[in-house]
Amino acid sequence: MNYRPSTLYRQKLPNTIKEQIYDAIGKGIASAGNTPIQLFFRADDIGVPSASFTEMIHLFQKHQTPLCLATVPSWLTSSRFRQLEAITGHEPNQWCWHQHGRLHKNFEPEGKKQEFGPARDYQQLMEQLDKGKTRLQSILDDRFIPFFTPPWNRCSEDTIRALKRLEFKGLSRSAGAQPDSTPLLPDIQVNVDLHTRKETDPAKVLNDILNELEQTLANGRTGIMLHHQRMNTTALLFLDLILACLTQYTNIRPMLLQDFIQP
Ligand SMILES: [Zn+2]
């Protein structure tokens, strides 16, 4: 896996970074008018304790903001979970421990990477999802929330059917993901990517992130995807500024995946 930080974080941030972030977020919120804005954060590739995991969690504790933790079943052990929870605390209102790809491996022989793509049939996908769910439930106990984030934000129609059958309550991919899951399950999509962007020019990375923040806030729902393995000190500072700005606004509602489901 590629753990290299984006070019934006491999150099010093511009001196005006705070003003730029506050300006983009302020504009997005002004465009939303009086509509309450739904906001959630989703951190992927959880399961192994590390300094970067701890630093990310400390930021969310500092800003008292909820965070969804997409956990890789084959990486998590009881001992690792004890170490992770020593950092997060129990706090069921702050963390949404949910399921990521069981092995976090690509199974597609060609095309875009997918663990839950068309290369495997319904029965195979069902078995993998079930094994992952059983493992997480046994380790996480009542902390486990039945939502699924597919690796690389993609999965097949069969995967969605299997998730429904296994009584998952929803999934989380990226904005515009196909196939549409809504007849079966809600898809709580991320639409801002802070750490796995393809652009190489740091100025363009920054510009695109700020545009995504502004546009999604203006539209009333912002889902921010994080990858702690790719966060260095500069990336932490950037996220700290975003959290500090967002938490100033009372019309923003920070949520967990399960909060999007109507009771
Ligand atoms: Zn992942």
* Residues 45-87: tens digit of each pLDDT: 999 999 999 999 999 999 999 999 999 999 999 999 999 999 9
Query: Above 70 in pLDDT, residue 236?
Result: yes
Question: Cα of 215 to ligand 1 centre, how many Å?
Answer: 25
Residue 144's beta-bridge partner residues? 97
Question: Cα of 240 to ligand 1 centre, how many Å?
Answer: 22
The pLDDT, as a whole number, for residue 209 is 98
Question: Cα of 45 to ligand 1 centre, how many Å?
Answer: 5
Mean pLDDT across 252-262: 95
Pairing of strands 221-226, 192-193: parallel
Contact 119, 107 (CB under 8 A): yes
Question: Cα of 100 to ligand 1 centre, how many Å?
Answer: 7
CA dihedral 213, 215, 217, 219 (to 10 degrees): -150
Question: Cα of 104 to ligand 1 centre, how many Å?
Answer: 6
Residue percentage of the chain with pLDDT more than 70: 99
Collect all residues with Cβ–Cβ distance below 8 Å to 43 and sequence separation of at least 6: 56, 67, 68, 69, 70, 225, 226, 227, 228
Question: Cα of 151 to ligand 1 centre, how many Å?
Answer: 4
Question: Quick one: three-class SS letters along the chain?
Answer: CCCCCCHHHCCCCCCCHHHHHHHHHHHHHHHHCCCCEEEEEEEEEECCCCHHHHHHHHHHHHCCCCEEEEECCCCCCHHHHHHHHHHHCCCCCCEEEEECCCCCCCCCCCCCCCCCCCCCCHHHHHHHHHHHHHHHHHHHHHHEEEEECCHHHCCCHHHHHHHHHCCCCEECCECCCCCCCCCCCCECCECEECCCCCCCCHHHHHHHHHHHHHHHHHCCEEEEEECHHHCCHHHHHHHHHHHHHHCCCCCEEECCHHHHCCC
Question: Cα of 251 to ligand 1 centre, how many Å?
Answer: 31
Contact 190, 172 (CB under 8 A): yes
Question: Cα of 72 to ligand 1 centre, how many Å?
Answer: 8
Question: Cα of 93 to ligand 1 centre, how many Å?
Answer: 23
Query: Above 70 in pLDDT, residue 149?
Result: yes
Question: Cα of 112 to ligand 1 centre, how many Å?
Answer: 14
**Residues 37-260, CATH architecture:** Alpha-Beta Barrel (3.20)
The pLDDT, as a whole number, for residue 3 is 86
Question: Cα of 114 to ligand 1 centre, how many Å?
Answer: 10
Whether the bond into 179 is cis, omega within 30 of 0: yes
Question: Cα of 34 to ligand 1 centre, how many Å?
Answer: 35
Question: Cα of 74 to ligand 1 centre, how many Å?
Answer: 12
Question: Cα of 33 to ligand 1 centre, how many Å?
Answer: 34
Collect all residues with Cβ–Cβ distance below 8 Å to 36 and sequence separation of at least 6: 220, 251, 252, 253
Per-residue pLDDT of 156-213, as tens digits, reads 999 999 999 999 999 999 999 999 999 999 999 999 999 999 999 999 999 999 999 9
The pLDDT, as a whole number, for residue 262 is 72
Residue 254's beta-bridge partner residues? 39
Query: Above 90 in pLDDT, residue 1?
Result: no
pTM: 0.97
Per-residue pLDDT of 119-133, as tens digits, reads 999 999 999 999 999
The pLDDT, as a whole number, for residue 34 is 85
How does the average pLDDT of the chain come out, rounded?
96
Query: Above 80 in pLDDT, residue 42?
Result: yes
The pLDDT, as a whole number, for residue 263 is 61
